Amino acid sequence: MKHISILVPEGAILGSIEGPRQVFTEVNAFLESMGNAPRFKVQLVSQGTIPPVYNGIYQVSATPISEVGSTDLVIIPALDGDMQKNLENNKAFIPWIVQQYKRGAEVASLCVGAFLLAATGLLQGKSCATHWMAANAFRQMFPGVNLVEDKIITDENGLYTSGGAFSYLNLILHLIGKYAGRDVAVFCSKAFQIDIERQSQSPFIIFKGQKEHEDELIKKAQEFIEQNFQDKITVDELAGMLYLGRRNFERRFKKATSNTVVEYMQRVKVEAAKKSFETSRKNINEVMYDVGYADVKAFRTIFRKITGLTPIEYRNKYNREAIVLEA
């Protein structure tokens, strides 16, 4: 039987505590209905007191970590609010998580629970997923972690992370498949109506630019790109506008935004195209020209690379008028 310890940190989002507990408990019930032994022992654990959850609206009774000798899997739920404050309020968990990992336990973070996992140092040099809205803050706090913004699940050396919000359920299914078998994971997928094959959160990402940095010249370049995305802008033009050499400009841009200049221009154009697909009745070619592309193949390739969907798939998924027309 696998011993699962679900942390109950201060400031935790209740759904990401109760959600995993409910799914793992349902697995046990399913196995028992088939005449099999339950697979999981699920335990809620705290730093020692009854922690306030979600701004103190809820309190959850849990076993103190001092009473947990060892475990097989530690689950870190999502946290709400200021992450620096959350890490300070939950710092007693950090050495305990490291100790359990060194003893052979695996560790999984859900959504922005990745901040607490990263604070242990265990993710240094490894891949990590989190909510796309927290990506910029995460990069600033943990530059040594390889943030994969588009992924829903990472699985590396017994460390697991998940993308934003309820996509943590995809990670829970992944773990159930690993511990209890594919057939049980498929059952849970059907019972909880979770898309078991979903691997990317790219279709949900809203690109707002990365301006949480101190390089004012690069911010000027970003603003110029965002205000003139319909035009053909070259890297040399931007570098000259800022009186920087091209190599120096590209280096500073990448350091400040985590994107190359070309990637940033592509993401701005695609974000504008997404908004047009969501709100207008324009066809693919019209939107393509509006955002500054002239080559249909290139536009479709870049759009799919960034969103995970073709332009037509995106329009049909998010445009209300397109849904009405198809109905």
Q: Write the pLDDT tens digit of every residue in 119-129.
A: 999 999 999 99
265 pLDDT tier (thresholds 50, 70, 90): very high
Place of tokens 């974000």: 271
The CA distance from 161 to 110, in Å, is 6
User: Token pair for residue 299?
Assistant: 């536009």
How many helices and strands, by DSSP H and E, does the chain display? 15, 11
Better-predicted residue by pLDDT, 316 or 55: 316
The contacts found for 176-184 with CB under 8 angstroms, 24 or more apart, are 176/23, 176/24, 176/27, 179/2, 179/39, 179/40, 180/27, 180/31, 180/39, 180/40, 184/27, 184/30, 184/31, 184/39
* Beta-bridge partners for 6: 44, 75
Place of tokens 């053909």: 232
Asked whether residue 24 carries a pLDDT value surpassing 90, the answer given is: yes
Share of the chain above pLDDT 70, in %: 97
Tens digits of residue pLDDT in 107-144: 999 999 999 999 999 999 999 999 988 988 999 899 99
Better-predicted residue by pLDDT, 258 or 6: 6
Share of the chain above pLDDT 90, in %: 74
Asked whether residue 322 carries a pLDDT value surpassing 60, the answer given is: no
Task: Identify the pLDDT of residue 325.
Answer: 44
Average pLDDT, the chain: 91
For the ranges 115-129, 138-152, 269-283, the maximum mean pLDDT occurs at 115-129
For the chain, the farthest-separated pair of C-alpha atoms sits apart, in whole angstroms, at 73
The DSSP symbol for 2 reads E
Task: Identify the pLDDT of residue 313.
Answer: 92
The DSSP symbol for 151 reads B
The CA distance from 192 to 188, in Å, is 6
* Beta-bridge partners for 52: 59
Tens digits of residue pLDDT in 218-232: 999 999 999 999 999
Tens digits of residue pLDDT in 224-254: 999 999 999 999 999 999 999 999 999 999 9
Task: Identify the pLDDT of residue 90.
Answer: 95
294 pLDDT tier (thresholds 50, 70, 90): very high
